[in-house]
Amino acid sequence: MDEDVFEPVVVESPLVWFLESLGFGGLMVAAAGLAAFLLTLFVVFRGKGSAVGPALLLIVPLPVLVSVFSVLQGMTASFAVAMHSDAQIKASEITAAISALLVRPIFGLLAMAPSYVLALLFLVYRSGKSDSEPFVK
């Protein structure tokens, strides 16, 4: 058989692939995760009254919302390139692009986890108290 027909298989580390798949959208998700955690800390330590629960409900899922926006933006851009391209696109290239885009929501869920755990513990602690005092006086 002719050896020029076969393309060499490049083995890539899953961690390298994960980090390359994140790109600039992953940086935005990481910033949203940090901001959500810091805002959650602020609400937990300084919040009082009946608006604490809704504030946490708004703050905690910020990384996931940013990651979903990043995925939609990336899919729109990649499909626009495919639409205007005259070359034939392989199915493997499309599935590679989609799998790389789906890494961002996974990273968004991981970035949301610390804020979620902090808010959960605080709300459980607060539900056991009779009044709505701040967590730390």
> Per-residue pLDDT tens for 36-75?
999 999 999 888 888 888 999 999 999 999 999 999 988 8
Average model confidence (pLDDT) for the chain?
A: 85
Angle in degrees, 0-180, between the axes of helices 14-46 and 62-84, rounded to the nearest 10: 140
Residues 123, 59: contact at Cβ < 8 Å?
Answer: no
pLDDT in tens, 118-133: 999 998 888 887 665 5
Answer whether residue 1 shows pLDDT above 60.
Answer: no
Longest dimension (CA), the chain: 80
Q: How far apart are CA 137 and CA 46, in angstroms?
A: 9
Domain spans, the chain: 24-127
| pTM to 2 decimal places | 0.77
| Helix (H) or strand (E) segment spanning residue 9 | none
Answer whether residue 14 shows pLDDT above 70.
Answer: yes
Q: How many CB atoms within 10 Å of residue 109?
A: 16
4-to-7, 8, 11, 14 alpha-carbon distances in Å = 7, 10, 19, 28
Residues 74, 21: contact at Cβ < 8 Å?
Answer: no
Structure tokens at 19: 């980090």
Over residues 95-104, mean pLDDT: 86
Q: What is the pLDDT of residue 22?
A: 83
Q: Where are the alpha helices (DSSP H) in the chain?
A: 14-46, 52-59, 62-84, 91-101, 103-127
Q: How many CB atoms within 10 Å of residue 73?
A: 14
Collapsed DSSP state (helix, strand, coil) of residue 87:
coil
pLDDT > 70 fraction of the chain, expressed in percent and rounded = 88
